[in-house]
Amino acid sequence: MIVGILKEIKVEENRVSMTPAGAEVMAHHGHTVLVEQSAGVGSGFSDDAYRLAGAEIVATPAEIYARAQLVMHVKEPQPSEYDLIREGQVLFTYFHFAASEPLTRAIMKSKAVAIAYETITGPENTLPLLTPMSEVAGRMAAQQAAKYSERSQGGRGILLGGVPGVPPATVVVLGGGVVGTHAAQMACGLGAKVYLLDLSLERLRHLCETMPKNCFPVMSSPATIRELLPQADAVIGAVLVHGAKAPKLVTREMLKSMKPGAVLVDVAIDQGGCFETSRPTTHTDPTFLLDGVLHYCVANMPGAVPLTSTVALTNATLPFAVALADQGWQEASRQNPGIKEGINIALGQVTYRAVAEAFGLPY
């Protein structure tokens, strides 16, 4: 099969959908890999690295769309690409269709097959192509909490770990899922005292057994949050209620009880945020001060560390991409129900219930 790797054109997106190491694996499976010129540069991979891996560098996205049977991206195709997509072509990327009716209609019109990273499932209903980005965002959240606790960044002027003779900072993490656990691990590693809140007793039992000694997994409730906020030097928002907007766990009123210069990192901002006062920010202007509390609410945190994010993402996507190239999308989805869950639109028809329901389309 001919596999095409496009350069990302969305603002602040420096990831690429396949590393040279992935291209080499594809080539070993007998596939031709086309890589758009400079597609890997934002993640530190040169065109020569892809050539050495056996890929062919092509000049334009038009050439990729014209020749490839399987086209890979990181973000959804942009309007400038809509007319290039061909009938029957397989597109494999993050789509988030429910967030965009124009994108949904454009892909339906193209009669391509859209397989969305975000809805591919793994064992026990996990989302294997979302997990790596949650791992990156979680680890980065602790790093941002440390950075914005510095005086020059507007914070309280503290080290999360303290030093001998000076107590460590208190970090409160709301949500003990993928993001929250990774954030807590990093904050613990820096030496902070970490409270990790979740609503699931089963999850809390697991966290008690697996997290470091300076992490205290506790049941989440409005009362516990109210009690912990005055002690917190940083609060990391990492809750998710599947299929719903994030619950507002910290209200504006509650900010009054916090220390001036404390940091809120709202990782859940991509689902609306779990602090009432959050609003999305960007990597170029990541924070704002409100009622004396510093807010960091970047919706695409992994974009700041494209090298790590690219390798983490492609580690997860490559086995699926190889299966799609080896077997074709129909056979691959017959053999792997997780891939079938990824098919959102096929040959003009919406095949994923939530997308159809979002826009009242037939399903």
Catalytic positions are: 96, 270
Please, are residues 324 and 339 in contact by the beta-carbon 8 Å criterion? yes
Report how far residue 114's alpha carbon sits from residue 71's, in angstroms, rounded to the nearest whole number.
10
Q: Which of 108-116, 263-271, 319-327, 344-352 is the region at the interface with ligand NAD (rule: CB under 6 A)?
A: 263-271
- Please choose, out of 44-52, 157-165, 233-241, 333-341, the segment that lies near ligand NAD by the rule CB under 6 A: 233-241
List binders of ligand NAD among 97-156 (CB under 6 A): 133-134, 137
Interface with ligand NAD includes 299 (CB under 6 A)? yes
φ, ψ dihedrals at 315, nearest 5° = -55, -35
Is position 187 an interface residue for ligand NAD (rule: CB under 6 A)? no
Number of residues forming the site for ligand NAD (CB under 6 A): 32
Strand partners, 285: 282
Pick 13 or 56: Cβ nearer ligand NAD: 13
Does residue 67 contact residue 4 with C-beta atoms inside 8 Å? yes
Residues 241, 289, 347, 354: which binds ligand NAD (CB under 6 A)?
Answer: 241
CB nearer to ligand NAD: pick between 43 and 300:
300
Among 180, 286, 306, 338, binds ligand NAD (CB under 6 A): 180
**How far is Cα 307 from Cα 91, in angstroms, rounded to an integer?**
23
> Strands 287-290 and 113-116: what pairing?
unpaired
The binder of ligand NAD chosen from 18, 178, 234, 236 (CB under 6 A)? 178
Q: Which window, 62-70, 118-126, 297-305, 316-324, contacts ligand NAD (CB under 6 A)?
A: 297-305
Q: Which of 120, 70, 67, 119 is nearest to 92 (CA)?
A: 70
**Which residue from 146, 207, 267, 304 is in contact with ligand NAD, where contact means CB under 6 A?**
267
Q: For residue 173, state whether it binds ligand NAD (rule: CB under 6 A).
A: no
Note whether 215 binds ligand NAD by CB under 6 A.
Answer: no
- Our finding on whether 258 is near ligand NAD (CB under 6 A) is no
| Interface with ligand NAD, residue 19, by CB under 6 A | no
Give dist(CA 204, CA 268) in Å, integer: 20
- By CB under 6 A, tell whether 270 contacts ligand NAD: yes
Q: How many CB atoms lie within 10 A of CB 340?
A: 18
Six-digit token pair at 237? Answer: 């928002």
Q: Which is nearer to ligand NAD, 4 or 338 (CB)?
A: 338
Residues 302, 137 contacting (CB under 8 angstroms): yes
Whether the Cβ atoms of residue 355 and residue 105 lie closer than 8 Å to each other: no
What does DSSP assign to residue 124? G
Q: Phi and psi (nearest 5°) for 281?
A: -125, 175
10 binds ligand NAD (CB under 6 A): no
Smallest separation (angstroms) from ligand NAD to the CB of 308: 13
Closest by CA position to 156, among listed 276, 297, 296, 292: 292
Binding site for ligand NAD (CB under 6 A): 133-134, 137, 174-180, 197-200, 203, 220, 238-241, 246-247, 249, 267-271, 299-302
